């Protein structure tokens, strides 16, 4: 049985070109990049070259690229790093707050020290959402969670309305990891920049681009962002390596303490092989003709994205032919690789098991919660009822996806749904 992989938002296979670039740094070029001898300097050169290459992709300075262990660590560093840099100290039980955050509006009860205010969305990845919630529970911040509209999109005006005098950070993901909707990051960034012109306390803007890097503009100046999270294993690179872009001048308190690596923002011996692989994966986004098995004469980038979108649209249209099914999120403003469909009166976990028996891999939502039977917080935030959430399936396409694989899904899905609905006590 041929296996079909349609779960690329969970992870992607390491491209053979990436693996080839990494391999020497596991054995022949094994030096510690902090060592002064030739072995170490060989490794240092590889890290520096990779950092420069990724900085060009993001249109930023090399010193603004901080390597981490992945997207979750980068999100934590961005949020906790900014919050703890802005809060000068905790002295006993007394919170000492920067004078710029002291409230002056007595009618709102803000005549005392005011907690820093953080804005995020209600359907962020858990690495952002749970970090903000923990800081809120610990009494370190005030938090606002913006709900998306029914199309799965954050409205810029909702961000603007939520901003307060003591707002210090806004964190909105570029592409939602479950439903694939594309958020107006550039417009949000522009709105924040405009507000900052008349504010004493600057608002910093962070975006998690883990699901966006393969398909969308990653120029940090175009996006008007101060912090940006990226992960290698979503773009055919290795697991265990990510980055946080930190615009020069943004205050960040390190979260891992030790040596002075990563410009003293993230201690620990550099993961040289994975950093090299990360840079190679980024290079292949910029130059798709380098991808293993690609047509060297093919027009790069947009052609590949358009092909993926055509297959995605065929999959969505075909699945929506199944009665009592609906698409989650905007039909147009979504990743070219994402199709998230709900099937009423069919259990998502059971659908996945039946697909797996057909050799097809998909998921019920984000990979981090795919083992959970709790309703998706993303779908709940759209206003869906729990029973509507339980029948959702996320198919995410990749570079190697072909039309015959989509045809196979459309061939087997009607029978799977019909069988499960007959077994359902609610049908």
Q: How confident is the model at residue 99 (pLDDT cuts 50, 70, 90)?
A: low
Q: pLDDT, tens digit, for every residue of 42-66?
A: 999 999 999 999 999 999 999 999 9
R_g (Cα) of the chain, nearest Å: 23
Annotated catalytic residue: which of 60, 286, 368, 389?
A: 368
Catalytic site includes residue 389: no
Predicted local distance difference test score (pLDDT) of residue 294: 61
**Is 152:328 a contact under the CB 8 Å cutoff?**
yes
Phi, psi of 399 (to 5 degrees): -60, -35
Q: How confident is the model at residue 302 (pLDDT cuts 50, 70, 90)?
A: low
Predicted local distance difference test score (pLDDT) of residue 107: 40
In the predicted structure, residue 111 carries a pLDDT above the cut 70 = no
Which residue has better confidence, 383 or 272? Answer: 272
Predicted local distance difference test score (pLDDT) of residue 402: 97
Of the given ranges (77-86, 175-184, 363-372), which has the lowest mean pLDDT? 363-372
Predicted local distance difference test score (pLDDT) of residue 371: 53
Please name which of 72, 32, 24 lies closest in space to residue 276, comparing C-alpha atoms. 24
In the predicted structure, residue 197 carries a pLDDT above the cut 50 = yes
Provide the CB-side half-sphere exposure for 318 (13 A, CA): 19
Domains in the chain, CATH or no CATH each? 4-13+293-423 (3.90.1150.10), 16-285 (3.40.640.10)
Looking at the chain, the number of H-run helices and the number of E-run strands are: 14, 14
Most confidently predicted of 21-30, 99-108, 418-427: 21-30
């Amino acid at each position: 049985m041929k296996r079909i992989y349609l779960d690329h938002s969970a992870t992607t296979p390491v491209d053979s070109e990436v693996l080839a670039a990494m391999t020497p740094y596991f054995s022949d070029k094994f030096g510690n990049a902090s060592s002064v001898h030739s072995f170490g300097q060989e490794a240092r050169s590889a890290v520096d070259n990779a950092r420069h290459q990724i900085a060009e992709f993001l249109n930023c300075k090399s010193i603004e690229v901080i390597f981490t262990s992945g997207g979750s660590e980068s999100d934590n560093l961005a949020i906790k790093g900014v919050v703890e840099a802005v809060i000068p100290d905790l002295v006993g039980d007394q919170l000492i707050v920067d004078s710029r955050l002291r409230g002056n509006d007595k009618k709102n009860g803000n005549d005392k020290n005011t907690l820093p205010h953080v804005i995020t969305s209600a359907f962020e990845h858990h690495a952002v959402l749970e970090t903000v919630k923990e800081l809120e529970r610990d009494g370190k911040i005030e938090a606002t969670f913006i709900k998306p509209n029914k199309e799965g999109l954050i409205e810029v005006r909702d961000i603007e309305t939520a901003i307060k005098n003591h707002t210090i950070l806004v964190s909105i993901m570029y592409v939602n990891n479950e439903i694939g909707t594309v958020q107006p990051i550039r417009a949000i960034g522009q709105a924040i920049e405009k507000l900052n012109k008349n504010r004493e306390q600057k608002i910093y803007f962070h975006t998690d681009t883990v699901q966006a890097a393969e398909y969308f503009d990653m120029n940090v100046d175009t996006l008007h962002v101060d912090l940006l999270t990226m992960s290698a294993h979503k773009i055919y690179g290795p697991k265990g390596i990510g980055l946080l872009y930190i615009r020069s001048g943004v205050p960040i308190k390190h979260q891992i303490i030790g040596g002075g690596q990563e410009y003293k923002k993230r201690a620990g011996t550099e993961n040289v092989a994975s950093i090299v692989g990360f840079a190679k994966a980024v290079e292949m986004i910029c130059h798709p003709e380098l991808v293993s098995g690609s047509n060297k004469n093919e027009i790069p980038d947009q052609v590949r994205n358009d092909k993926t979108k055509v297959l995605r649209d065929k999959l969505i249209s075909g699945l929506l032919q199944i009665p009592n099914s609906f698409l989650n999120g905007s039909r147009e403003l979504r990743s070219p690789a994402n199709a998230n469909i709900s099937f009423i009166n069919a259990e998502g976990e059971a659908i996945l098991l039946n697909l797996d028996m057909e050799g097809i891999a998909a998921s019920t939502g984000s990979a981090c919660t795919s083992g959970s039977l709790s309703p998706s917080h993303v779908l709940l935030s759209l206003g869906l009822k729990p029973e509507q959430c339980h029948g959702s399936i996320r198919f995410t396409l990749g570079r190697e996806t072909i039309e015959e694989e989509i045809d196979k899904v459309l061939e087997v899905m009607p029978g799977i749904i019909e069988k499960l609905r007959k077994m359902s006590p609610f049908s």
